[in-house]
Amino acid sequence: MAETPVPATLADVPRERWPQHIAIIMDGNGRWARQRRLPRMEGHRAGRDSVERVLEVVEDLGLKQVTLYAFSHENWSRPQDEIDSLMKLYRRNLVAERRRITEKNARFINIGRRDKLPAAVLKEVETNERLGAENTGPVLCLAVNYGGRQEIVDAARSLARDAAAGTLDPETIDEATFASRLYTAGQSDPDLLIRTGGEMRVSNFLLWQISYTELYVTDVLWPDFQKEDLYRAMADYARRQRRFGGLSPDDVR
Ligand code: FPP
């Protein structure tokens, strides 16, 4: 199979400095639609095309994982017709993604509380997860009805249940034990978190997992986000020194 050429923006960036797991807060669909005097849902539909572009990059460059914030725990407070249309868009999209799972050897994971998801969406989520369960290619992780605080509460509850049942000694709980009860159990933490739409906040996304993640905020609205914008974020990441609370080799002299 022919190798995909490395885009010019990344040509001088050694591959080992590329982020392997990218998480994205896809913001700005509503503003994009408003600028064009279109209904908000048109912004979400255009946002779907940006998702496709990002997935193509992940596949073409052989990245390990992308995690997309599609619907937050707080998004239920939006008008019901927007919620219904978004859920329909996700359902259609989950069905369409099946081809990618098979052809690209991709894995699909959904994170978030599942109890509130419409049955039709949950059915497609579970089908996709089953279909890609043994696949070893890129991981597409979709956060739907996701909240970082809720995830931490759910993990605490699960540990407390085991402690109360006498199957877990509270003194043995460490970071790894805790992480194993999160929705993201078994996944690596994101290297890079991109937020589009310019807001400087993390909005209850992956609170535990982004402790040492590099942040990149761009004013570009999500439907306008091009492959080139992703390459730029990756190149910016590659220039940074990740120290994880320690010192860089230059400082140790
Ligand atoms: C935030 O923009 C975006 C969302 C709440 C939904 C994200 C959904 C998509 C990108 C659609 C396609 C996704 C998949 C996975 C099929 P906003 O409405 O808050 O924008 P605003 O801040 O400009 O109002």
User: pLDDT per residue over 77-111, tens digit each?
Assistant: 999 999 999 999 999 999 999 999 999 999 999 99
pLDDT > 70: percent of the chain? 98
pLDDT computed for residue 250 by the predictor: 72
Average pLDDT over residues 189-195: 98
- Annotated active-site residue 219? The verdict is no
Ligand 1: centre distance to CA 183 (Å): 21
Contact 172, 4 (CB under 8 A): no
Contacts of 72 (CB under 8 A, 6+ apart): 143, 145, 146, 147, 203, 204, 205
For ligand 1, atom 13, name the residue with the nearest CA: 48
State the helix-helix crossing angle for 119-132 and 80-103, rounded to 10 degrees. Answer: 20
Overall average pLDDT of the 143-159 stretch = 98
CA angle 130, 100, 215 (to 5 degrees): 95
Residue 211 and residue 42 in contact, taking contact as beta carbons nearer than 8 Å = no
Using the predicted structure, report yes or no on whether residue 192 has a pLDDT greater than 60.
Answer: yes
- The label of the residue with tokens 């970071």 reads 175
Q: Which atom of ligand 1 is nearest to the CA of 75?
A: 5
Q: What pLDDT score does 253 carry?
A: 65
Atom of ligand 1 nearest to the CA of 43: 18
Type of residue found at 116: K
User: What whole-number distance in Å separates Cα of residue 125 and Cα of residue 56?
Assistant: 20
- The number of helices, as runs of H, and strands, as runs of E, in the chain is 7, 6
- pLDDT digit string (tens) for 209-227? 999 999 999 999 999 999 9
Does the CB atom of residue 216 touch ligand 1 within 6 A?
no
Section 190-210 average pLDDT: 98
**How far apart are the CA of 221 and the centre of ligand 1, in A?**
10
For residue 48 and ligand 1, the question of a CB distance below 6 A is answered with yes
Mean pLDDT of 25-32: 98
| Digit-coded pLDDT (tens) for 1-10 | 556 789 999 9
Reported as a pLDDT band with limits 50, 70 and 90, residue 69 is very high
Percent residues over pLDDT 90 in the chain: 93
Q: Is 19 in the pocket of ligand 1 (CB under 6 A)?
A: no
pTM comes to: 0.95
For residues 189 and 22, what is the distance between their CA atoms, to the nearest angstrom? 9
Asked whether 47 lines ligand 1 (CB < 6 A), one says yes
